[in-house]
Amino acid sequence: SVVFPPVLVQMLDRLESEILTDRVSEESRRWLASCGLTVEQMQNQMDPVYTPARKIHLYHCDHRGLPLALVSTEGTTAWYAEYDEWGNQLNEENPHQLQQLIRLPGQQYDEESGLYYNRHRYYDPLKGRYITQDPIGLKGGWNFYQYPLNPISEIDPQGLNPLILSVVALMSCGLFSSGGVIQSGQQRRDQYGRKVNPEADKLTDEHKSGVNPGGNCSPQNLSDLQNEKNRLCNQSRACAPQMLRKEILRRYEINLACASVRKQINNQCFGGGDKAHMEEENKAYKTAADCSGLIK
């Protein structure tokens, strides 16, 4: 094999860079001419620069920032997945074989291990905890392996210390960038990309008509849950900048509790809830996020 002198290799590398940027110097032109070559001849000998095809997709996330759907610029759902509270993927629709590795805030899925890389350590979603100790020690809490005990209202983007959800975290994933229902074929989804279960409409209608009062719950169980929902949700919950921090925190917690009991009613009694009830649940989470953004 032929080994070129280092000076020649350096010259050719510089020439290639100049040709690619269309900025060939006079020195390079003179050198090519001394070899009986032109810039055009050299350009024709070079391999074309590979430009990968790029396609833009928009993220739709839940209130924590966990991606639920990738939507094309044409408005079609190109990828969709469902997760439990701890970030375990329950199912996935990926007809275009897209690679979507983002999980809970700060986490990236590692296919070989099944773990989630969480900046400073790895998180096991099956156990809902980290596999290594917290590098900041007791500053992150008494349990060195603990992920936030309430994964619905807290996140840990750096794998160091839990954070209360803020509206900034939600905005970073475009959660509130667009409203309405995402369409995927004939399947309806709420504004966060969650499917609306057709069974939910059936259970709701049967409950209202008296054919099946309570849906999947007993009438008494549903009544107890609705009483709790009314106690929490039927009060002033909106936050304003002029409010005291203590009051904002109180309303933040009330909104989370309101959203939680609505979710419980939807999931336990009505197959996830019809679209109207899912949106009421979403509104409570959004109001909580708005309050969180005012906490200083």
- Do 165 and 69 fall into the same domain? yes
Neighbours of 256 (CB within 10 A): 24
At residue 105, φ and ψ (nearest 5 deg) are -50, 125
pLDDT at 278: 85
- Do 72 and 41 fall into the same domain? no
pLDDT at 227: 94
- Do 69 and 168 fall into the same domain? yes
pLDDT at 69: 94
Q: Are 276 and 229 in contact (CB under 8 A)?
A: no
- Do 61 and 168 fall into the same domain? yes
- Do 94 and 129 fall into the same domain? yes
pLDDT at 180: 38
Nearest residue to 62 via CA among 289, 292, 294, 293: 289
List the domain range (segments joined by +) for residue 205.
198-292
Q: Is residue 233, in this structure, part of any structural domain at all?
A: yes
**Predicted confidence (pLDDT) per residue in 5-41, tens digit:** 888 888 888 999 899 888 999 999 999 999 899 999 9
**Predicted confidence (pLDDT) per residue in 214-255, tens digit:** 999 999 999 999 999 999 999 999 999 999 989 998 998 898
Helix (H, G, I), strand (E, B) or coil at 54: coil
Q: Is residue 151, in this structure, part of any structural domain at all?
A: yes
| DSSP 8-state code for residue 48 | P
**How many independent structural domains does the chain possess?**
3
Q: What is the largest CA-CA distance in the chain?
A: 95
Mean pLDDT rounded to a whole number for the chain: 84
- Do 147 and 215 fall into the same domain? no
Q: Is residue 180, in this structure, part of any structural domain at all?
A: no
pLDDT at 85: 87
Nearest residue to 106 via CA among 135, 64, 137: 64
Q: Are 200 and 273 in contact (CB under 8 A)?
A: yes
Q: What percent of the chain has pLDDT over 70?
A: 87
**Residue entry with tokens 């009613």:** 265
Q: Is residue 136, in this structure, part of any structural domain at all?
A: yes
| Long-range contacts, 219-222 (Cβ 8 Å, 24+) | 221/268, 221/269, 222/265, 222/269
Helix (H, G, I), strand (E, B) or coil at 82: strand
**Predicted confidence (pLDDT) per residue in 254-276, tens digit:** 988 898 888 889 888 998 888 88
Q: What is the pTM of this model?
A: 0.43
**Predicted confidence (pLDDT) per residue in 49-72, tens digit:** 777 777 889 899 988 889 999 998
Average pLDDT in the 162-177 region? Answer: 51
Q: Could you give the CA distance from residue 10 to residue 6 in angstroms, rounded to a whole number? A: 6
